Amino acid sequence: MKPSFVILIAFLSSSVLAQGTFQNLNFEQANPVMAVGGPYAPYGVTTASALPYWTVDIAGVQQTSIPENAPSLGAPQVTLISSAYTLQPPIAGNYSVLLEGSDGPGLPAISQTGLIPTGSQSLFFEAQPGSAALDVLVGSQVVPFSAVGTGANYTLYAANISAWAGDTEELTFSAQESTSGLNNWEIDDISFSTTTVPEPSPLALTGVGGLLFTLYRRLAPKRK
């Protein structure tokens, strides 16, 4: 059965609700400050200035600096992508985050601990998918997610996080290793929703998908 248009509009509208105590879910609070020395010179910026409220880990080691607009040539890495980088611009706004898994050991991850809003049913995020898996974790548990639509330059993904509604938990995004080289996931616009993810048929998505996701973009929280 096709989902009704009203239900789908309600689903999109729900994403504008409060995001608990999580901050900088669209990465627009970046104010990059050049790092002195470090492994990413001359492109390194401090993690605190590039990704406020987030921590960055490579192979479980917390990083105090990350590169800006300098994707990896083979090693696992987390890169801040700004609108100045025309080869792979941000998904939306001025900044996105690129999680780069490689064919070697060491998983790149970003994490933030916060209160998941009471009544939350779903977690949404936009991404340009990589060549292998991306893990989304709440606490230590990997949460399955699936594509629910597409935009001009991204796929919209959703995960069921109702089991943690009202809890304070760590939210993590981590790119897995790839046997075919780099596994690059560019992500942006993370949000919580109080509405269960609808499961429209492929025909329904084809017929109204463009309109629905245009509305999603218009209803999404304004970037600061």
**CATH number (domain holding residue 10):** 2.60.120
**What pLDDT score does 10 carry?**
44
Residue 224 maps to a domain: no
Q: Are the beta carbons of 54 and 112 closer than 8 angstroms?
A: yes
Residue 107 maps to a domain: yes
Phi and psi angles of residue 28, each rounded to the nearest 5 degrees, phi first: -80, -5
Residue 163 maps to a domain: yes
Q: Are the beta carbons of 186 and 91 closer than 8 angstroms?
A: yes
Instruction: Measure Cα distances from 61 to 26, 27, 110, 146, 190 in Å.
Output: 24, 21, 11, 29, 24
Quote the CA–CA distance of 25 and 165 in Å, as a whole number: 17
The number of distinct structural domains making up the chain is 1
Residue 49 maps to a domain: yes
Q: What is the pLDDT of residues 168-214, one digit of tens each?
A: 999 999 999 988 788 999 999 999 999 887 554 443 344 334 444 44
Q: Are the beta carbons of 141 and 204 closer than 8 angstroms?
A: no
Residue 95 maps to a domain: yes
Whole-structure pTM value: 0.83
Containing structural domain, residue 107 = 5-219
